[in-house]
Structure 1
Amino acid sequence: MRQWRAIGWTVTGAVVAMAAALLVAVGPPQAPPVRTAAGHRWITDDQGRALVLTGLNTASSAKSRPDGLPWIKEADVQREADELGSDFVRLLIQWRNVEPRPGEYDDHYLAQVAERVRWYGARGYHVMLDMHQDVYGPAVKGNGAPAWATEAEGLPVAAQGQWELTYLEPGTVRAFDNFWGNRTASRDLRGHYAAAWAHVARRFADDPAVLGYDLMNEPFGGSVQGPAFEAGPLAALYRQTITAIRAVDAGSWIFVEPEAVSANWGLPSALPYLTDPRGDGGAARIAYAPHLYPLPMDLGAGYTGDAARWVDRTLASWREQTEKTARRLGAPVLIGEYGLDITLPGAPRYVAKVRAMAEDMGAGTAYWSNDPGSWAPWDQSLRPTPLLPVLDRPQPRAIAGDPLSYAWDASARTLSVSWRPKDGVRGDTEVYLPARDFPRGGVVEGASAGFWDAKSRILHITSGGAGPQGVSVRIRPKA
């Protein structure tokens, strides 16, 4: 979901109590220390290169359409590739469409999803499939779960002007409680969910465009919140689903999210370490994919004045807690959602700040979302909004080694990337140089430029003569 707008009243009650509990959260032993130059893990491709994933969520429209598919056509994917240079998409899918009846899967729906995956794959994208839910499912005025898997026991769910408040309705809480096992449901709903994911993974295990699977969008615990939820029912579902996926797909990345209502605001997570039972004996491929929606923005504020100062404190806390959780999980980080109505004051500056923070963290990003409108790079007529030049940013896409750092200095018009060569890594380092900043391509200092693809605007760099500190390159616009 985009944000928990208009629930600020809970901050003085249940959320404060949750925050206090989270501060003392503990879990099972964490992963061993990560031995990389940057001190954290990276999402990698089949050549062993570290990936710097940036792109959009596609799309909110999939939540409300009966067919569960986003609004896009192939031409829209091409426009995104041309105008943004994205290399990643968080593609929303719906459990209600995957498993419309208990134990029966709609392979026609998955074939349509596969067609859209092909559109992205043909343009060099990495696709993460996201099993999306907001407010559980349509039977309780949300999206995600099928009606047969919604056991609200007849409790009411009143329509709310602010849809996020529907999470607090009695029927919604009861549906979540029956799913998580906080009560006794008539079916093994979590078993169905894990099996549905296994069916999806079996379909896409050999698709080279599919990077991995986001197990659940913004989990909500019903009547169980905080550490009791994250270290209990949520971790149990993740372990069950990871095991089911690994039975059919040993190689794809698996992305896990924390409880949304706390982690989105920069509060600690109690998500414990999760073992990856990969059958091929390779290193764990579990990534951490929290979302970022500071509370003032959830309440409709822009990035200015007191709200901006609050947001800056939130960003510092969010980064600290995210990196702490990632170390416990032994996982790389991808910001699965962030964004803001671009018409609000200071919004472009906020988005640029999040992107710069992600670069400093070595984290991927998926902006919410590509649905045309005030949150998107395009308006309803598909004309660029002020967001587009903020997102269309020079950056590495794939780094052929162990990354040290990368950053774009707009004032100096210089992209800096440094890494150490690593045994077993194949291929070139690939850098995206947008036309607005590099109209004729780039000049590389510190390494050998392999070739420049003017159509994709990708500069290929070979490590060349790496020194004892590795490779450090600076790329400036060609005169």
Structure 2
Amino acid sequence: MRLRRTATALAVSAALLGAGGLPAAAQTGQNAQARAAQAAQSHQAVQSHQAAPVAAAPHRAAAPVAAGTVTTPDGRTYLADRQGRALQLHGLNLGKTDTVTEAGIAELAASGFNLVRLNIQWQKVEPRRGHYDTGYLRYLGRVMDWADRYGVLVLVDWHQDVFGPAFGFNGIPAWATRTDGIPYEPLPGDDWFANYFQPAVGAAFRHLYDDADLRAAQAAAYTKVAATLRGHRSLLGYDLFNEPFGPFTGDPTDPATQIENSAAMERGRLADLYRRLIAAVRTADQDAWLFVEPTVLIGQGVPTQLPGFSDPRHGSDRIGYAPHYYDTAVENGADWNPADGFIEAYEAVIRAYPAAHRMPVLVGEWGPAKATGKGNAELIRRQTASMRGFATGWALWYDCHAAEGGGYCAYDADGRPAPGKEPVFAAYAAAIAGTPGAESYDPATHTYTLALATTAVSRCAWTELKLPATAFPHGARVSVTGARGALVHQAPGEARILLPATPPGRHVTLTVTAR
């Protein structure tokens, strides 16, 4: 949700993070349920498990196929390709109100990103009941073609903000909006999130969740998009419902009431919606990953109450978890205060649910509007470090250009990293042939390190590093310690390392320094 969040959510933050920090249950997590020239350079071709022992040097970009998962001894679950390499996805959101272009995808890939979170809306897919906009569907197909070409993965996000256009926002079509005749007037000012608590909006969500004809229409729209986009190599999957909300009863300024409403929705109506939409996509696509989101209270240290979900596909489940990572005070315009406990509170509750269900975590949205202040610049740095500890990937909000670090844009007006957002453009390992360990990038010395423990995969698959020019403007040197006979292949903006003579169980460190 990126603009300003309602002041009522601040009350939740204050109650949970104030004098005494998290409630005991949140501290333990026991209540949780169990991103162009460089892009066109040579890339490692994806091999199958039956490939030759030493993979050949690549010839063009290719998005990895997320065919499964790998779980590390510390409980982190990563998306994995067909070779068993752990995947790390770094990317940007785009497509909500702007038109995605090939140049935009090329820029994203050239910046070192390998993921697009593509925001789409039901209102654009089906502007009139029973009428699917073929022009819009063709546009989505073109975006996928460009992603195929530049070797990035796409997470298709079914986006909504304050339900849809009937309330002046976007998402659910006006024809699918039922308010029981309750009047609605947009609230003044920037606190748009407070509109969620209006009775007319609550009624619209209740009917969406409960009315059989709307349930069927929504499922049919999801099936239509899945049938249109299936088969693209770049298609990672679907974020099934952006920042879910619902009918609200009681005082919205009361933190306990917010938590009670959120929990009831996650256990009931929202869980039922996810089950319907999982089934709908699976009628058209057996391979795409399907990601579920908790409510926005996860950002305030409130554990999700979502249940686990079964996947009707043939083979292992492909269901992931896609929380957002926003600090309420920052969303309301403050420069981040590292003493507010936000990072600690979020980390305390984010792991239990995906660990219990062996789900990969992909943070669908995160980041402050501006990082020109000292606090928000530190927040960007801390969040990138934080997500290395629990997520297989993330998508920053938002892929755009703005002067002087304005808005949520990742780039400044000249296409450079926006002030304070440089950590978003840091080096990282896109595919790890082995068990991932500690990973870091020091911008002061332009040094990147990755620790890994070798496995059988390390001897026949390349570890792939993204080394964007923003991190290594004059090129990079790669060194390997702890391994014999390491092969290193470098191209502009990237490097690949193969360890064919290193037996499993060795601790290896890859170090990249600036030229």
Q: TM-score, normalised by structure 2?
A: 0.80
1:183-218 deviation digits (Å, cap 9, x = unpaired): xx4x52222222211221122221101111000100
RMSD, matched Cα: 2.9
Secondary structure of the residue aligned to 2:359 is coil
| 1:428 pairs with one of 443, 459, 462 | 462
- Which residue identity is paired with 2:217? H
Q: Is structure 2 residue 175 aligned with structure 1 residue 148?
A: yes
Contact 1:334 1:363 in 2 (8 A): yes
| 2:265 pairs with one of 215, 224, 229 | 229
Distance 1:285 1:425, change over 3 A: farther
| 1:78 pairs with one of 92, 106, 113 | 106
| 1:377 pairs with one of 410, 418, 424 | 410
- Which residue identity is paired with 2:5? R
- 2:24 and 2:382 map into 1 onto residues whose CA distance is 30
Distance 1:398 1:294, change over 3 A: same
Structure 1 residues not aligned, in runs of 5+: 62-69
In the TM superposition, what is the alpha-carbon distance from 1:172 to its structure 2 partner?
Answer: 0.8
Percent identical pairs in the alignment equals 33
Distance 1:425 1:206, change over 3 A: farther
Contact 1:22 1:269 in 2 (8 A): no
In the TM superposition, what is the alpha-carbon distance from 1:422 to its structure 2 partner?
Answer: 4.7
Distance 1:50 1:27, change over 3 A: closer
Partner residue in 2 for 1:198: 223
Structure 2 residues not aligned, in runs of 5+: 17-21, 35-69, 250-260
- 2:471 and 2:451 map into 1 onto residues whose CA distance is 17
Partner residue in 2 for 1:289: 322
- Which residue identity is paired with 2:425? D
In the TM superposition, what is the alpha-carbon distance from 1:441 to its structure 2 partner?
Answer: 2.4
- 2:100 and 2:8 map into 1 onto residues whose CA distance is 34
In the TM superposition, what is the alpha-carbon distance from 1:388 to its structure 2 partner?
Answer: 4.8
Partner residue in 1 for 2:362: 334
In the TM superposition, what is the alpha-carbon distance from 1:232 to its structure 2 partner?
Answer: 0.8
Secondary structure of the residue aligned to 1:361 is coil
- 2:114 and 2:130 map into 1 onto residues whose CA distance is 34
1:54-73 deviation digits (Å, cap 9, x = unpaired): 01110442xxxxxxxx3342
| 1:309 pairs with one of 330, 339, 356 | 339
Partner residue in 2 for 1:66: none
Partner residue in 2 for 1:5: 5
| 2:440 pairs with one of 404, 407, 413 | 407
Q: Is structure 2 residue 279 aligned with structure 1 residue 250?
A: no
Moved more, 103-112 or 424-433: 424-433
Distance 1:54 1:110, change over 3 A: same
Partner residue in 2 for 1:452: 490
In the TM superposition, what is the alpha-carbon distance from 1:124 to its structure 2 partner?
Answer: 1.1
Contact 1:60 1:371 in 2 (8 A): no
- 1:383 and 1:398 map into 2 onto residues whose CA distance is 25
In the TM superposition, what is the alpha-carbon distance from 1:139 to its structure 2 partner?
Answer: 0.7
Partner residue in 2 for 1:131: 158
Secondary structure of the residue aligned to 2:216 is helix
1:140-159 deviation digits (Å, cap 9, x = unpaired): 22210011110012212212
Moved more, 377-386 or 336-345: 377-386
Distance 1:426 1:202, change over 3 A: farther
1:150-191 deviation digits (Å, cap 9, x = unpaired): 00122122122221111112211110111122xxx4x52222
In the TM superposition, what is the alpha-carbon distance from 1:411 to its structure 2 partner?
Answer: 5.0
| 2:184 pairs with one of 146, 157, 161 | 157
| 2:386 pairs with one of 357, 375, 384 | 357
- 2:238 and 2:202 map into 1 onto residues whose CA distance is 26
- 2:469 and 2:433 map into 1 onto residues whose CA distance is 24
Q: Is structure 2 residue 240 aligned with structure 1 residue 215?
A: yes
Partner residue in 2 for 1:348: 377
- Which residue identity is paired with 2:462? D
- 2:103 and 2:145 map into 1 onto residues whose CA distance is 13
Secondary structure of the residue aligned to 1:81 is helix
Secondary structure of the residue aligned to 1:122 is helix
Partner residue in 1 for 2:45: none
- 1:145 and 1:349 map into 2 onto residues whose CA distance is 36
Q: Is structure 2 residue 201 aligned with structure 1 residue 172?
A: yes
Partner residue in 2 for 1:367: 396
Contact 1:57 1:366 in 2 (8 A): yes
Contact 1:38 1:403 in 2 (8 A): no
Secondary structure of the residue aligned to 1:42 is strand
- 2:220 and 2:454 map into 1 onto residues whose CA distance is 41
- Which residue identity is paired with 2:449? L
